[in-house]
Amino acid sequence: MTALLDMDELLDTLEQGVRNMLEIRGVDNPAIIGIRTGGVWLADLLGKRLGMTEPRGELDISFYRDDFSRIGLNPRVRPSSLPFETEGRDILLIDDVIMSGRTIRAAMNEIFDYGRPASIMLATLIDLGARELPVQPDVTGKALSLKADQRVKLKGPDPLHLELREASQP
Partner 1 sequence: MTTPQPSPDSVQLTADGQLRHFLTLDGLSRELLTDILDTADSFIEVGERAIKKVPLLRGRTVVNLFFESSTRTRSTFELAAKRLSADVLNLDISTSATSKGESLSDTLLNLEAMASDMFVVRHAQSGAPHFIAASVTPGVAIINAGDGRHAHPTQAMLDMLTIRQHKGRFEGLKVAIVGDILHSRVARSQICALNTLGVEEVRVIAPGTLLPSDAEHLGCTVEYDMEKGMRDLDVVIMLRLQKERMQGALLPSEQEFYRLYGLDRSKLALAKPDCIVMHPGPINRGVEIESAVADGPRSVILNQVTNGIAVRMAVMSMAMGGQVTERVSRLGEGQP
Stretch that binds partner 1, among 16-24, 49-57, 78-86, 126-134 (CB under 8 A): 78-86
Cα separation, 113 vs 111, in Å, equals 5
Cα separation, 170 vs 4, in Å, equals 21
* 81 belongs to the binding site for partner 1 (CB under 8 A): yes
- The contacts of residue 44 (CB under 8 Å, 6+ apart) are 34, 56, 157
Number of residues forming the site for partner 1 (CB under 8 A) = 24
Contact status, residue 94 vs residue 35, Cβ threshold 8 Å: yes
Q: List the one residue from 4, 24, 69, 168 that touches partner 1 (CB under 8 A).
A: 69
Which candidate, 41, 27, 21, places its Cα nearest to that of 123? 21
Contact mark string toward partner 1, 110..129, x via CB under 8 A = x-xxxx--------------
Stretch that binds partner 1, among 73-81, 117-125, 143-151, 158-166 (CB under 8 A): 73-81
Interface positions with partner 1 (CB under 8 A): 60, 62-64, 68-73, 75-81, 87, 109-110, 112-115
